[in-house]
Structure 1
Amino acid sequence: MGSLGAILDQSKPFLAVLFLQFGISGMSIITKFALNQGMSQHVLVVYRHAIATLVIAPFAIVLERKIRPKMSLSVFVKILLLALLEPTMDQNLLYTGMKYTTATFTSAMTNVLPAFVFLLAWIVKLEKVNIRKLHSQAKILGTIVTFGGAMLMTLINGPMLPLPWTKSNNHHVFSSASAVKQDPIKGALMIIFGCFCWAGFIILQAITLKSYPAELSLTAFICLAGTIGGSIVALAMEAGNAAVWSIHFDVKLLAAVYSVRYSPFI
């Protein structure tokens, strides 16, 4: 029994990551479905982080009331930059790229994220690389393979799977916004630039946590700043189209609420 318990303990991190990946895959599918039904990707970013702020802020206020450091100008500037990189730039680019491609394509392309994080960490000297050591060689090889796989995805254009919601008799469900022409190259470039912003966010977040070690509070501040920044982008991109802000108890609301759980910084 002792050996079995040890095996189960060692497998917990793997199972956690596995279930997380299933959840993220579900998020991609639900998000793509909401976008196909006419939801603006820019409005989705706003709603997602507004809900995240409301969910996380109470926990941050209660659980970190005794350990929360004082806000300094340096930390405040970093929070603004973090909100610009990940909630605002990354997710607007990512969801727009998803509109031009598919949920599967987007999930596959975001696999370049670890490679970007490795390269940026190397540049800012958070990651040490010794070409003579095996683990460094493995990281470099993994980075090359990751980029190669992402580039290969841009050249593949497989057949459309005959899923229930792709049938022509369900076409009335989709609005005119779902008729965006598929453009894998354009979508891939947006997703790659989004991942680059995401990688920058991860690096800056690690640096910020050293001077502001209150994870929940930092997340709440980033979500709040991201909501404000996303609102500015959405108002600019959807000017004169007030209808895109309407939301009901449907897949659009589900996309906004579901994605909060799998936000990259929660």
Structure 2
Amino acid sequence: MLVHHFVFNRERLEREREREREREREMGDQSGLCRALSEFFDKAKFYLAMVSLQFGYAGMYIICMVAFKRGMSHWVLVVYRHAVATLVMAPFAYFVERKIRPKLTLRVFLKIMALGLLEPVLDQNLYYVGMKSTSATFASAFVNVLPAVTFIMAIAFRLETVNLKKIHSLAKVIGTAITVSGAMVMTLYKGPIINILFTHGGGHHSSTNASSEQQHWVTGIITLISCIFGWSGFFILQSMTLKEYPAELSLTALVCLMGMIESGIVALIFERNMSAWVIGFDSRFLAAVYSGVVCSGIAYYMQSVVNKMRGPVFVTAFSPLSMVITAVLGAIVLAEQTHLGSLIGAIVIVIGLYSVIWGKSKDLTAANAEFEKGKASQLETFQKNISDFGDDIDVESNGVSKSAAQKFPPEP
């Protein structure tokens, strides 16, 4: 009976141990999967953030174009857009960063004023003028030259380095040149109309209408070029400001506030019709709320975080995706016409931009390798010094040899 009881307990103990080992294996597999997912997300989070932001921009282009066709003033839209963004972002900035927010110096405040002027006032108003003079599809496609302009400005302000002896640096330069060439194709060659998704534009135009349309097209291109330089300057200055004021939410709220004030002053000067400030719960209200929350509040914050970690060139390198989404939505919702020149130029721009992105990714890999090499060199030097010191210790006499005394003299 005792033998049977002993055997039974032993078998039960073995079963419990086996179950425990299975649980440990399962937990190990789960922890390994969690680590793999965590590493993947850590590497992909900046890409996911920028890609999702392009979907947000594409939606804004379409909604704003509908609002403009309903008679909304772009001067008024910019004011309301940043008023909404300020109301949404200010509470988060106050409560989340109240313990880590650095002191707002006069130097930082002046930079924030400049940021509010560059993007909310200059960039957005010029972009809306260009979009109304051309089309939402053309404007979103033309903005693809933004990374090239930002890259050139970043080199000028020493935020980017170029070594033509390295392939990835050469890829960035060649990609920038290709991108500018694509923008020139879009600017100088219009070409026949390409129907996307079987959409058809209007009929024939008279020569007077064609001349007027060409004049508007040139005006739109000039304003879009000016818009791009303002937007690039915003990213360069944002990167500099984050080094002195590393509080992304607070910086976003302050830029939106200054953008609201400055754009309000500009709107009162250029928009004399007071009835333009009255909007109802229609597409105009939707354009103000959507662009304020998504494309000012959330976008400024996400861009500042990525700008701080990866630099301004990386932030601007994902605009081709917005062009593709906008082209499809513009054809479906607005029945917009896409010209052959825009299509060819956009393809050339995409090729150039992804050459720049490849070069930027290799830059990051090279920087990490250089950092690890520096750490290994420091560790090797430290270990050599410790080894040299140990060799000079006279263990038998419990003292220090003459050579060690010479290397490490006693402090007075």
RMSD: 2.5
Count matched residues.
253
Q: C-alpha separation between the residues in 2 aligned to 1:51 and 1:60?
A: 15
> Structure 1 residue 71: deviation in Å?
1.1
Q: 1:265 and 2:300 equivalent?
A: yes
- Equivalent in 62, 65, 69 of residue 98 of structure 2: 65
> Structure 1 residue 112: deviation in Å?
1.1
Deviates more, 1:184-193 or 1:39-48: 184-193
Q: C-alpha separation between the residues in 2 aligned to 1:38 and 1:137?
A: 47
Aligned to 1:211: 244
- Equivalent in 126, 138, 147 of residue 159 of structure 2: 126
Which one scores higher on RCO, CA 8 angstroms, separation ≥ 6? 1
Q: 1:42 and 2:75 equivalent?
A: yes
Aligned to 1:27: 60
Aligned to 1:82: 115
**Can you give the 5+ residue segments of structure 2 that lack an aligned partner in the other structure?**
1-28, 203-211, 302-412
Q: C-alpha separation between the residues in 2 aligned to 1:11 and 1:69?
A: 29
> Structure 1 residue 147: deviation in Å?
1.3
- Sort the Cα spacing of 1:67 and 1:158 in 2 relative to 1 into closer, same or farther, 3 A: farther
**Secondary structure in 2 matching 1:193:** helix
Aligned to 1:202: 235
1:166-177 mapped onto 2 (5 Å cutoff): none
Q: C-alpha separation between the residues in 1 aligned to 2:49 and 2:264?
A: 33
Deviates more, 1:187-196 or 1:19-28: 19-28
Q: C-alpha separation between the residues in 1 aligned to 2:200 and 2:289?
A: 24
> Structure 1 residue 258: deviation in Å?
1.2
Deviates more, 1:82-91 or 1:255-264: 255-264
Cα deviation code 1:136-184 (max 9, x no counterpart): 1111111111111122222225538699x9988xxxxxxxxxxx95622
1:180-191 mapped onto 2 (5 Å cutoff): 181=213, 183-191=216-224
> Structure 1 residue 20: deviation in Å?
2.6
Q: 1:95 corresponds to which letter in structure 2?
A: Y
Aligned to 1:254: 286
- Equivalent in 172, 190, 200 of residue 156 of structure 1: 190
Q: Give percent identity, aligned residues only.
A: 51
Higher helix share: 2
> Structure 1 residue 242: deviation in Å?
0.7
Cα deviation code 1:48-104 (max 9, x no counterpart): 101000000000000010011111110111111111111111111111111101010
1:98-137 mapped onto 2 (5 Å cutoff): 98-137=131-170
Aligned to 1:171: none
- Sort the Cα spacing of 1:79 and 1:5 in 2 relative to 1 into closer, same or farther, 3 A: closer
Q: 1:97 corresponds to which letter in structure 2?
A: G
Deviates more, 1:10-19 or 1:74-83: 10-19
TM-score (norm 2): 0.57
Q: C-alpha separation between the residues in 1 aligned to 2:158 and 2:52?
A: 32
**Secondary structure in 1 matching 2:193:** coil
Q: C-alpha separation between the residues in 2 aligned to 1:107 and 1:90?
A: 13
Q: 1:238 and 2:268 equivalent?
A: no
**Secondary structure in 1 matching 2:87:** helix
For the pair shown, the structure with the greater C-alpha radius of gyration is 2
- Sort the Cα spacing of 1:80 and 1:105 in 2 relative to 1 into closer, same or farther, 3 A: same
Aligned to 1:52: 85
Q: C-alpha separation between the residues in 1 aligned to 2:194 and 2:267?
A: 31
- Equivalent in 227, 230, 235 of residue 260 of structure 2: 227
> Structure 1 residue 6: deviation in Å?
8.0
Aligned to 2:175: 142
**Secondary structure in 2 matching 1:213:** coil
**Secondary structure in 2 matching 1:130:** coil
Q: C-alpha separation between the residues in 1 aligned to 2:230 and 2:270?
A: 20
> Structure 1 residue 21: deviation in Å?
2.0
- Sort the Cα spacing of 1:38 and 1:157 in 2 relative to 1 into closer, same or farther, 3 A: farther
